[in-house]
Structure 1
C-alpha cells in the first residue's frame, strides 16, 4: 500500500535577496541579486515529499492574489494535491537575505497562514485519517497545530513536528509527537540550554527525548545532525559541498526523511538519505526549485 503524507502548514511567497553582508543600522546596502519563488515551511516540506514521488496533500491558506496563484500553481505542477488549500486575504511572504556562504536571515509576514482554523481541520478530518504521516510546523496558529496532534494522537498516523519557528509546547502535547525535528536554536529555546556544539546538541536531544518519549532529531546546518531515541544517539556529519544557498534545506531534509520512513528505511538509513538530499539542495539557488527529484537522487536510493 502506497503511504500518503498530509502536510498542514504555511505557504509563503519567498523574496530572496543575495548580498555580501547584512546592512548596519541606518545603512543602505546594495545587494547583488533577487530571486523570487514559492516557499513557506509547510509548502517546502510538501514539495520535497512530492518531488521524491510520495503522494502528498497540502492543507493551508493563501491569499486571493498573484502570490497565492503562484504558490498553488507551483505545488500542483509537481504533483501535490492542493484541493485543501483555501484562498482568503493576502498571501504570506518570506523575505530572505542570503550570504555568500549560503547562510541566511529570514523574516516572515504571516498573511493567510494565520487564518487557518480548527474548523478547517475538522472539515477534512476523514481525509486526513487516510494519511500515514502528518507533518506540522509552527508558521500557522499554535492552537491549530496542537489540535491536530491531539486529534490524531490515537490513530496509526505518524505525527512529525518541526517546531519552527520555536514555540513553547506542553509536555502533554509533545508526548504524542512521533518525530520531533528542531535545529540548534529551536532546541535551545525548548530546553533553555545553549546548543553550540555537537556534544551540547546531543545532550539537548536526550532531554527532549525524555519529554516526548519518541524520536528527536537536532539539525546543525553544515555541521550535520543528531538523532536520539530511547536506545541511542547517533551523529551524522553533513556532506561537504560547495554551498550556494541554504534556503529551505531544513525543509528538504524533513521531506526526504519522511519519504525514507514511508519506504520502510531504517532510521539510520533515513538520516543518511535526508543528509544527501539536503546537500543537493544547498548546491543550488532558491527554495523549492533547488529541491531534488527522485530521478536526481536515484544513485543513493539503495542505501
Structure 2
C-alpha cells in the first residue's frame, strides 16, 4: 500500500517500544482504526511479521530513545515516509525495583534517560511538525507510579513523575496551538513490566521489611496482572477521540483506587497543617 492509497483521514503514528506490551497493543489498535504506524524499536527485525501482515501501513525504525541521533532519524523517517506525524506515543520504558539507597546512580540515571529524557527529547523533535500542522497529539505513557510512589519503586516513580509534570506544563503551552497532550497512568497490566524487562537494584537486608515484599510481589505477578493491554490501547484511542480529552487517563481499578488514595492523603495533609501553612507570611 502506498501513501496515495491510504485514506486522508488516517492518522500517522510514531510509537516507541512498539514490539511488546503496551507498545504492541497501541500499534494493533492504530492499525485497526485504519491508521499508519512508524514503530520505533531497538531491534527492527522483531517487527518483521507485523510489517509483512500490514504492507505499507507499518514501518519499523531502529530507535533507542537514549540515542539522540536515532531519535532525530526516527522522526525524519516518519515525516519522510508519510508527510506528517499526527500522534506520538512515548511508551518505551522498564521496571526498576530497589530502595532509594539500594539504587545506584547509574541505575537512576538510566531510568531517567529512558523514561524522562528520551520521551522529552522525542516530544521536542515532533513538536515543530505538530505546530506547523496546527494539530496532533502527544501520548505520554506514564504509570500510576507517576502520580504516587511507594517503597521500592522510587527511581521508577521519579522518572515517570518528572515526565508527568513536564507534560502538564507542555499541555498548557500547546493547547492554543491545536495540540493535545494525554498522560496515561496504567496500573498492573499483563505486559513485560514485571517479567524480563524488570530490573532489580542491589539488595540491602535492612530494607527487606519494606522493599522485599514489593520485589517478590512484582516478579510473582508476571502474567497474572488483571489489566488487558489491548483494552488499554482501545481506551487511549477513545480518550483521544473525545471532544475535550482529559490531561490524565488512569487505567485499571488499581490505578483509580491508588490515585484517589494519594489525592485524599494530600488533601488531608493540607487540612491538618493549614494553620502552619498559612502562618508564614510577613506581618502586614
More strand by share: 1
TM-score norm. by structure 1 comes to: 0.40
Rg comparison, structure with higher value: 2
TM-score norm. by structure 2 comes to: 0.42
